[in-house]
Structure 1
Amino acid sequence: MAGGGPAGAAAALTLAHSGAEVVLVHPDAPPGWRVGESLAPSARPLLERLGVLDRVGTDGHLPYYGNRSAWGRATLTASDFVRSPYGPGWHLDRRRFDASLRAAARDAGVRHRPGSVTHLTRAGNHWRATVSGAEITAPYVVDATGARARLARRTGARLVHTDHLVAVTALLPNTGQGGGGSATHENATEHTSLIESTPFGWWYTAPLPSGQLVVMAVTDADLVREAGLRTPDGWWAALGRSRHIGARLPARTRPPERLAVLRAGTSRTLPAAGPGWVAVGDAATATDPVAARGITSALSTGMAAADALTANARGDDEAIRRYAGQVTEVHTEFLHARAACYRTERRWDTPFWLRRRRPPSGPDEPHRRGTAPGPRPAADGG
């Protein structure tokens, strides 16, 4: 198991619950800057099946009551979770959330090996993986290394990119917004995600348990300079031209001292699984954050892949192939929904939006059908 994010931890937990011996390879040093993410209420059944719902609910994350968006129009519309059978979601501290899932995996008997897989070869029906100079032999490999799908590509799989979206991101103070999940419905507006489309793409903001706001300018990588988003001052000036995002910031907020550029593009790995291996999370299907499905997809693919490996070990020779087909179906349906979502914004004939109005050009491009997924964005696909 390579990668200790939500997808890798979910796969490890599911396999451990089935009685498998699991080694989770993950660096001791934390990954790059993590800025939080909104986790929708629909993730609750997945967390419950993994046995971690109580951990997440008591781990200090903020409640997440719904979404506000100015998309296709200048005024805000609301989508709340009042009628959700699962209750509110969470605005996560991602480091804490990921660490909690890994801790649950260790409690279930999963062994942790610090480092990363530097070499991988197939020997008969087993894999030989080199981790920090030591060799591990296993019948199955799970690639949870993120959108670069490092292990899947070593097996001959290829990455198919739909776009090269990035999120130019800052953390800003959220005065009066404490951590610890103490919000009530009286201040529920501050515990919603907010998205606002612009000529260069769109803005997104949400509160974090740290008492900060994450604020993102989302556009294509080659449009960052043209949009003036490369420097904190340029980014701040662009934010000042927003109508709703800037209005959510506390008074006297100062420009950020630094920015982070996060990968946010849509891609998938073809195939997403093969003899003795599976890809999960972003390594299988990475989706535009406008859908806010990154962690939910990570959890569900991790669990489904683990089920497929368990079935294969018990003699079902088609289980892994079926999993790969399921990933393809889910990703294709997302492309349909993504196209429908972006087509609802017709106010600007700028490069970002014109690209998303082009007709399908290949088998990995969306068709003109499906239900729009949002807009309900979140940071980092997980």
Structure 2
Amino acid sequence: MNSSTHNKTAHIVVLGGGPAGGATALGLKTLGYDVTVIAEPRPFKAVEGVSERVVEGLRNAGFKQALANLPQPSPRLASWNGATNSANTEMLINRNELDQGIGRDLQAAGVHLVHSRVGKVSETDEGFSVELKGSDVAQLNADFLVEARGRSAPAAGLERLRGSETVSLLQYWQGEPCQPQSAAESFEDGWAWMAAWSDGTRYLQLTFDVASADLPDKAQLIDHCNAILRNLPSAQSFIANAEPTGVIHARTSTPILCREAVGDNWIRVGDAAMAVDPLSGNGIFQALSSALQAPAVINTLLQHPDKRSLAKQFYQQRVDHLFHRFARIGRDFYASEERWWDNPFWATRRNWPDNQPLHQETDPDSLQVVCMPVVSNGLIEEHEVVTTNDQPLGIWHLNGIPMAPVVRALQNRDERVSPQTCLQTGLGMSPEIAEGMTRWLYQNHWLKAVS
């Protein structure tokens, strides 16, 4: 049954108004739910470098006003393992402005937006009670709760997998107006990310290993960080004719995976479900990856209690898969820095989370047709998919064509019949579609190349 025919009286409260919380709220509103988002302004100004892929993800999530004033891509310098590359670019966005734009998108879609700090969250017989601080409303009740407060979300006693404990120290500098630019550089005890805005604001962040960094106490921390920056070649253009302003902000950047990211009446999305090492540069993208799946999961949990186990299996599998994928990206990048092989910062990170390759070449003999949960019409349903050694979660469709019948037909064909002919005669594909499908199957190693 199509999800639109179900009763949507449940009130859903989303804690957090960033990309993950906003995308989840927009998706739920599209499905017909009453949604309230509780958003608190960031405590300090933050800048992030994002790629065009991140922008496309935000656009696909339904954000419009949040993307209205994006800057042009600016140069990004990368100095790693003694080599310097200036070929890449990124957009330097003000996260406070992005979050404000997300808020406007939510209100335009009819989502209730409450600007407040979240206090105590209590489970009740009916759902949840959420205390609000700094708002005209003292308390909200929710039938379903979405935790989207990022890394700062309470652990709530849930089991979590943690990578190497990592801290990032951020300080603002102020200099002369300049062209926007950013840079990343590795050093013996960690790595630096630096950004400059056109108004002269510099954003300088150093990332260290908590266990081995031997950082000084708070009084000497600024001098310690500044001494490192003055020895980094990439930092010179950022600190020239500039001075540090304000205190240092310490932020945890430890990779964290929540082993239980969904329950019968709650779900964790974005960094609250899994937070990756910032080195991967995929923070907003991975946050959206879980958030875009969440509305269908929530819809199933509320409308089809008999499919709760299926919905929770679907979501946890994808959160786990995404986390390990991004963790391996970071691992391989850390391993590419070979100058300080024995330094604890680099030694621990180049071997975590495992030694599995990021990508495997697909083995045609690994193809299997199995039943797995998928998103279908705003719900989680079980369908036949094709799994491979490199795609363990399976592929359901390709350009609208179910892949299970394709693989089954090819596996049962007479070897004297060509794959294209098999698809035409066995599945009724047109010659053009069968030819294109056959080409894709060979290119992606689903068919063994003819020797």
Specify the alignment match of 1:130 in structure 2: 130
Given candidates 69, 81, 101, the residue that maps to 1:72 is 81
Aligned counterparts of 1:282 and 1:56: Cα–Cα separation in 2: 19
Deviation string, structure 1 residues 347-370 (Cα, Å, up to 9, x no partner): 013221122244x5xxxx232421
Q: What secondary structure, in the 3-state scheme, does the structure 2 residue paired with 1:341 have?
A: helix
Specify the alignment match of 1:343 in structure 2: 335
Q: Is the 8 A contact 2:78 2:85 kept in 1?
A: yes
Shift of 1:95: 0.7
Superposed counterparts of 1:16-95, under 5 Å: 16-27=29-40, 30-53=41-64, 55-59=65-69, 61-65=70-74, 67-73=76-82, 75-80=83-88, 90-95=91-96
Q: Is the 8 A contact 2:20 2:270 kept in 1?
A: yes
Aligned counterparts of 1:95 and 1:210: Cα–Cα separation in 2: 16
Shift of 1:51: 3.0
Deviation string, structure 1 residues 43-98 (Cα, Å, up to 9, x no partner): 23322233324x24433x4323453211122x3113436xxxxxxx5211111111
Which one has a bigger Cα radius of gyration? Answer: 2
Specify the alignment match of 2:121 in structure 1: 119
Specify the alignment match of 1:205 in structure 2: 194
Aligned counterparts of 1:314 and 1:209: Cα–Cα separation in 2: 50
Given candidates 313, 318, 324, the residue that maps to 1:332 is 324
Aligned counterparts of 1:42 and 1:239: Cα–Cα separation in 2: 30
Specify the alignment match of 2:443 in structure 1: none
User: How many aligned positions are there?
Assistant: 336
Q: Does 1:4 align with 2:12?
A: no
Deviation string, structure 1 residues 312-339 (Cα, Å, up to 9, x no partner): 3343532233112100011011222221
Corresponding letter in the other structure for 1:32: P
Distance 1:48 1:146, change over 3 A: closer
Higher RCO (CA < 8 A, seq sep 6+) = 1
Specify the alignment match of 1:309 in structure 2: 298
Distance 1:296 1:288, change over 3 A: same
Distance 1:323 1:174, change over 3 A: farther
Q: What secondary structure, in the 3-state scheme, does the structure 1 residue paired with 2:243 have?
A: coil
Shift of 1:224: 4.4
Which segment is superposed worse, 324-333 or 347-356? 347-356
Q: Is the 8 A contact 1:121 1:127 kept in 2?
A: yes
Distance 1:26 1:209, change over 3 A: farther
Q: Does 1:369 align with 2:370?
A: no
Specify the alignment match of 1:231 in structure 2: 221
Corresponding letter in the other structure for 1:269: C
Corresponding letter in the other structure for 2:38: V
Distance 1:295 1:191, change over 3 A: same
Q: Is the 8 A contact 1:266 1:288 kept in 2?
A: yes
Aligned counterparts of 2:209 and 2:197: Cα–Cα separation in 1: 25
Deviation string, structure 1 residues 156-212 (Cα, Å, up to 9, x no partner): 5222211221111111224232xxxxxxxxxxxx54431110001011112336541
Q: What secondary structure, in the 3-state scheme, does the structure 2 residue paired with 1:22 have?
A: strand
Q: Is the 8 A contact 2:277 2:327 kept in 1?
A: no
Aligned counterparts of 1:208 and 1:158: Cα–Cα separation in 2: 40
Aligned counterparts of 1:268 and 1:208: Cα–Cα separation in 2: 33
Q: Is the 8 A contact 2:128 2:144 kept in 1?
A: no
Alignment identity in percent? 22
Shift of 1:134: 4.9
Corresponding letter in the other structure for 1:241: N
Specify the alignment match of 1:379 in structure 2: none
Q: Is the 8 A contact 2:15 2:118 kept in 1?
A: yes
Specify the alignment match of 2:233 in structure 1: 243
Give the gaps of 5 or more residues in structure 2: 1-13, 360-451
Corresponding letter in the other structure for 1:141: L
Corresponding letter in the other structure for 1:101: I
What's the Cα RMSD here? 2.5
Distance 1:279 1:232, change over 3 A: same
Aligned counterparts of 2:67 and 2:118: Cα–Cα separation in 1: 30
Q: Is the 8 A contact 2:15 2:21 kept in 1?
A: yes
Corresponding letter in the other structure for 1:80: N
Q: What secondary structure, in the 3-state scheme, does the structure 1 residue paired with 2:34 have?
A: coil
Corresponding letter in the other structure for 2:77: R
Aligned counterparts of 1:131 and 1:80: Cα–Cα separation in 2: 45
Q: Does 1:14 align with 2:4?
A: no
Distance 1:196 1:255, change over 3 A: same
Q: Does 1:176 align with 2:185?
A: no
Q: Is the 8 A contact 2:66 2:99 kept in 1?
A: no
